[in-house]
């Protein structure tokens, strides 16, 4: 993966793994911020943390998908043969392995791990589709708020202001992600800005 950027195959594999780790670590770092749990009513539970992980991962995968389409059109090749696709697949595989590890650490038995991971994977794809539709809808975030209400606040009553803030946060993150170049993504130099930084307009997406 990423041979064009990193030289030899063995070096590319090592550097490619480092890039995936950097991207995923940023997703996890953003997931652990207290704002959604303390201020927006997102349940601070295993499921709530999973949903916030999915939300932040969605932003990253969405940008990789756009870059994949751009690369495929530019090089006149299949999506699956692009470097963007390779990076996206490697990141997804890394995320699934981490979810497996977390479930095991939470005490899920070996016999149930497969079913649990499969359920998480299905939930991820469902949420990605719902959030994409929400961002695309021209309805003052009504569709996006509805998607977040169904998927994030499944066990609690969503506070209207908290739900609105979460929708605004996701849309602003997506706007920032739209500025990330392939060079930024390929080196793992993304920043998922904190809500306060987005609100203040400090939306510097790279480090």
Six-digit token string for 115: 């079913």
Express each pLDDT in 181-201 by its tens digit.
999 999 999 999 999 898 776
Let me know: does 40 contact 159? Beta carbons within 8 Å: yes
Express each pLDDT in 45-101 by its tens digit.
999 999 999 999 999 999 999 999 999 999 999 988 899 999 999 999 999 999 888
Six-digit token string for 67: 């870059």
Residue 164 CA, distance from chain mean position: 19
Task: Quickly state the pLDDT bin for 105 (edges 50, 70, 90).
Answer: confident
Residue 33 CA, distance from chain mean position: 14
CA dist list (Å): 106 to 98, 113, 132, 135? 12, 11, 30, 33
Express each pLDDT in 129-155 by its tens digit.
999 999 999 999 999 999 999 999 999
Is the pLDDT reported for residue 107 higher than 50? yes
**End-to-end alpha carbon distance in the chain:** 23
Let me know: does 64 contact 87? Beta carbons within 8 Å: yes
Q: What is the pLDDT of residue 11?
A: 63
Distance from C-alpha of 187 to C-alpha of 56, rounded to nearest angstrom: 18
């Amino acid at each position: 993966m990423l041979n064009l950027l990193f030289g030899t195959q063995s070096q590319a594999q090592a550097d490619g793994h480092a890039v995936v780790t950097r991207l995923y670590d940023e997703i996890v770092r953003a997931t652990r911020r207290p704002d959604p749990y303390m201020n927006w009513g997102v349940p601070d539970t295993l499921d709530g943390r999973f949903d916030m992980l999915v939300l932040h991962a969605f932003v990253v995968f969405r940008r990789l998908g756009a870059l994949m389409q751009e690369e495929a059109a530019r090089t006149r090749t299949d999506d699956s043969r692009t470097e963007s696709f390779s990076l996206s697949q490697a990141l997804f595989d890394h995320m699934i392995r981490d979810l497996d590890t977390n479930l095991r650490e939470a005490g899920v038995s070996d016999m149930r791990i497969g079913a649990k991971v499969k359920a998480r994977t299905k939930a991820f794809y469902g949420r990605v589709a719902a959030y994409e539709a929400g961002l695309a809808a021209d309805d003052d975030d009504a569709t996006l708020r509805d998607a977040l209400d169904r998927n994030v606040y499944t066990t609690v009553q969503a506070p209207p202001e908290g739900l609105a803030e979460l929708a605004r946060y996701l849309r602003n993150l997506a706007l920032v992600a739209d500025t990330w170049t392939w060079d930024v993504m390929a080196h793992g130099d993304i920043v998922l800005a904190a809500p306060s930084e987005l609100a203040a307009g400090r939306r510097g997406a790279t480090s």
